[in-house]
């Protein structure tokens, strides 16, 4: 498609002058000081090895996958790490789909150099059979929103994704010990990658006024800047890579000052990443313990919902709606009786207590989530109905049942989708002995009869 000149965004002369003049008094247009970073938020999803990073208005997602391949001939004992950056057209109207432009290539190369040359990721542990089979780790970075300083944000996303990635464990078997068996995650716990240190990229922007240097430029500042430098350091103040490709000439003293500041910032960012990864790991471990607990599939705002307290309740409560999981600190028996008694009293109305809790818990975009309204009682109404003696006819079921069943979307654990049925059975038995019998016995027959009713209606 021919380049659409009408769509390129240009900063006006007034805005340019404003930014430059403000910088002379050490003022930035978003109110930050020159060496202050924007807010970094790191979120993970239920899938291992996927991270979403927000640096101010910049939004980047990183995904890590791994495959078994043949190694390079000159490095038979090492795995490979490859980086793919996608400047998605959704990030900026000037990003065109198709071949990556020079900015995309530069970003990919800078991050790649920071990880590979500094040996941050241990490649030798990725070797399975020397010379024949190694793990090839692939990092996909998707830039979703361009708010400036893509390199730093993408770097953090790549690191966060690599830290939370788990590769399947494989062992050698077969008669000659040369056959590689890859164990699926249900059989053997997948392993994390070995990462020695975290190289953090810190970007500085230089302006034509020689003493103006800012860290973490926004999109408008990037349009005004005269030159840019990215320094990749780790928390031990080791310089992993420096990239200053052309642009304004800068004094040596300024460069040294920048490196010092970068060291401090790298330390801060490393702590942030480590904290985020740790909380994800704890959550993941808890999820693994109670395999079929409610989905950690987070709702829309992407907040890392603390499902620790809720997993007891949600275990096998596939029929109970998501809202119930947000009531913290209640024991299972209490909650189930609460819900059932409430439903029995008011079949139509929404239980305001549950609703209230839900609304208090979630703010922002997820208030559009359907569960904030009446799902709980509707579904329980249905399950109570099915527990009763009447088996609704097909038509009735279609109109009423679908009314109810569609609204009540059960919470299902992500693992259940992946696990085959037998591991579920196996995993269920230890939990059965945990004294959750009453709840399961109460819930399971409901599901059975409901399925029977609808499947009878389905034929």
Partner 1 sequence: MEIDRVDGRTANQLRPLACSRNILNRAHGSASWSQGDTKVLAAVYGPKVGTKKNENPEKACIEVIWKPKTGQIGKPEKEYEMIVKRTLQSICVLTINPNTTTSVIVQVVNDDGSLLPCAINAACAALVDAGIPLKHLAVAICCCLADSRYVLLDPTKLEEQKTKAFVYLVFPNLTLSVISEGSLKVEGEPVEQAIITSVTQGAMSVDDYLHCLERGRAASAKMSAFLRRSLPPQIPSDSSKAG
- Binding to partner 1, residues 317-356 (CB under 8 A): 318-319, 322
Does residue 71 touch partner 1 according to CB under 8 A?
A: no
Residue 188 or 400 with smaller CB distance to partner 1? 400
- C-alpha 454/C-alpha 456 separation (Å) is 5
Does residue 61 touch partner 1 according to CB under 8 A?
A: yes
- Rule CB under 8 A: choose which of 41, 416, 427, 440 binds partner 1: 416
**Cα 249 to chain centroid, rounded:** 39
Does residue 423 touch partner 1 according to CB under 8 A?
A: no
From the CB of 332, what's the least distance to partner 1, in Å? 17
Does residue 368 touch partner 1 according to CB under 8 A?
A: yes
Does residue 279 touch partner 1 according to CB under 8 A?
A: no
Residue 33 or 451 with smaller CB distance to partner 1? 451
Of residues 236 through 275, those in contact with partner 1 by CB under 8 A are none
- Rule CB under 8 A: choose which of 186, 248, 340, 369 binds partner 1: 369
- C-alpha 249/C-alpha 231 separation (Å) is 16
Paired tokens of 259: 């490196």
Within 13 Å, how many C-alpha atoms sit on residue 55's CB side?
A: 31
Residue 54 or 312 with smaller CB distance to partner 1? 54
Does residue 452 touch partner 1 according to CB under 8 A?
A: yes
Of residues 105 through 124, those in contact with partner 1 by CB under 8 A are none
**Burial class, 75, CB count within 10 angstroms (exposed 0-12 / middle 13-18 / buried 19+):** middle
DSSP letter at 301 equals T
- Rule CB under 8 A: choose which of 104, 137, 156, 411 binds partner 1: 411
- C-alpha 174/C-alpha 74 separation (Å) is 28
User: Which region, left, alpha or beta, applies to residue 177 given φ > 0 means left and ψ of -120 to 50 means alpha?
Assistant: left
Residue 116 or 397 with smaller CB distance to partner 1? 397
- C-alpha 114/C-alpha 380 separation (Å) is 54
Does residue 97 touch partner 1 according to CB under 8 A?
A: yes
Does residue 187 touch partner 1 according to CB under 8 A?
A: no
Of residues 154 through 183, those in contact with partner 1 by CB under 8 A are none
Paired tokens of 1: 């498609």
- Rule CB under 8 A: choose which of 402, 426, 434, 445 binds partner 1: 402
Does residue 414 touch partner 1 according to CB under 8 A?
A: yes
From the CB of 197, what's the least distance to partner 1, in Å? 26
- Rule CB under 8 A: choose which of 101, 173, 365, 430 binds partner 1: 365
From the CB of 420, what's the least distance to partner 1, in Å? 8
- Contact yes or no for 193/137 (Cβ under 8 A): yes
The H or E element containing residue 302 is none
Does residue 222 touch partner 1 according to CB under 8 A?
A: no
- C-alpha 348/C-alpha 374 separation (Å) is 9
DSSP letter at 169 equals P
Does residue 72 touch partner 1 according to CB under 8 A?
A: no
- C-alpha 194/C-alpha 161 separation (Å) is 13
Of residues 298 through 317, those in contact with partner 1 by CB under 8 A are 299-301
Of residues 28 through 57, those in contact with partner 1 by CB under 8 A are 45-47, 50, 57
Paired with 129 in beta bridges are: 133
From the CB of 257, what's the least distance to partner 1, in Å? 31
- Rule CB under 8 A: choose which of 253, 345, 417, 433 binds partner 1: 417
The backbone torsions φ and ψ at residue 300, rounded to the nearest 5 degrees and listed phi first, read: -55, -40
Single out the residue of 267, 241, 66, 263 nearest to residue 161, CA to CA.
66
List Cα–Cα distances, 130 to 75, 76, 77, 178, in angstroms: 9, 6, 5, 11
Residues 6+ apart with CB under 8 A from 380: 319, 320, 321, 339, 340, 343, 408
Binding part of the chain for partner 1, among 16-24, 241-249, 344-352, 406-414 by CB under 8 A, reads 406-414
The H or E element containing residue 231 is strand 227-233
Q: What is the CA radius of gyration of the chain?
A: 27
Residue 61 or 134 with smaller CB distance to partner 1? 61
Determine the size of the site formed for partner 1 (CB under 8 A).
Answer: 77
Residue 37 or 84 with smaller CB distance to partner 1? 84
From the CB of 79, what's the least distance to partner 1, in Å? 17
- Rule CB under 8 A: choose which of 17, 24, 69, 89 binds partner 1: 89
- Rule CB under 8 A: choose which of 407, 431, 439, 442 binds partner 1: 407
- Rule CB under 8 A: choose which of 71, 108, 147, 263 binds partner 1: 147
- C-alpha 205/C-alpha 230 separation (Å) is 9
From the CB of 412, what's the least distance to partner 1, in Å? 3
Does residue 146 touch partner 1 according to CB under 8 A?
A: yes
- Rule CB under 8 A: choose which of 38, 43, 142, 381 binds partner 1: 142
Paired tokens of 42: 């790191």
- Contact yes or no for 126/79 (Cβ under 8 A): yes
Sign of torsion over alpha carbons 332, 414, 296, 405: negative
């Amino acid at each position: 498609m021919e380049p659409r000149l009408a769509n390129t965004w240009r900063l006006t002369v007034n805005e340019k002058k404003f930014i430059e003049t403000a910088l002379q008094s050490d003022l930035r247009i978003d109110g930050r000081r020159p060496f202050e970073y924007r807010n970094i938020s790191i979120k993970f999803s239920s899938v291992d090895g996927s991270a979403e990073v927000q640096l101010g208005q910049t939004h980047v997602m990183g995904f890590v996958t791994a495959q078994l391949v043949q190694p390079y001939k000159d490095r038979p004992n090492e795995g490979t790490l490859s980086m793919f950056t996608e400047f998605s057209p959704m990030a900026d109207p000037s990003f065109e789909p198709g071949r990556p432009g020079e900015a995309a290539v530069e970003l990919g190369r800078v991050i790649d150099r920071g990880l590979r040359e500094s040996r941050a990721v241990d490649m030798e542990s990725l070797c399975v059979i020397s010379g024949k089979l190694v793990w090839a780790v692939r990092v996909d970075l998707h830039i979703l929103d361009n708010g400036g300083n893509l390199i730093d944000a993408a770097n953090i996303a790549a690191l966060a994704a690599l830290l939370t990635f788990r590769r399947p464990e494989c062992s050698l078997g077969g008669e000659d010990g040369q056959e590689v068996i890859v164990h699926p995650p249900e059989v053997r716990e997948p392993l994390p990658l070995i990462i020695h240190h975290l190289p953090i990229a810190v970007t500085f922007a230089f302006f034509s006024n020689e003493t103006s240097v800012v860290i973490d430029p926004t999109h408008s500042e990037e349009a005004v800047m005269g030159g840019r430098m990215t320094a990749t350091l780790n928390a031990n103040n080791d310089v992993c890579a420096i990239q200053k490709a052309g642009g304004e000439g800068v004094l040596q003293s300024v460069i040294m000052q920048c490196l010092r500041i970068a060291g401090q910032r790298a330390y801060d960012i490393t702590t942030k990443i480590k904290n985020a990864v740790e909380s994800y790991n704890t959550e993941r471990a808890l999820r693994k313990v109670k395999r079929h607990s409610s989905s950690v599939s987070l709702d829309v705002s992407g907040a890392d919902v603390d499902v620790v307290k809720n997993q007891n309740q949600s275990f096998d409560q596939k029929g109970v709606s998501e809202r119930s999981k947000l009531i913290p600190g209640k024991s299972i028996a209490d909650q189930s009786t609460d819900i059932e008694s409430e439903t029995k009293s008011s079949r139509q109305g929404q239980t305001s207590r549950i609703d209230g809790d839900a609304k208090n818990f979630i703010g922002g975009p997820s208030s559009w989530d359907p569960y904030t309204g009446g799902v709980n009682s509707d579904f329980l109404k249905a399950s109570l109905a099915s527990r009763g003696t009447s088996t609704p006819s097909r038509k009735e079921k279609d109109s009423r049942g679908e009314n109810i069943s569609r609204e009540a979307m059960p919470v299902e654990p992500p693992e259940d989708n992946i696990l085959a049925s037998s591991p579920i059975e196996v995993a269920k038995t230890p939990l059965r002995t945990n004294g959750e019998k009453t709840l399961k016995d109460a819930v399971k027959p409901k599901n059975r009869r409901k399925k029977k009713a609808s499947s009878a209606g389905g034929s």
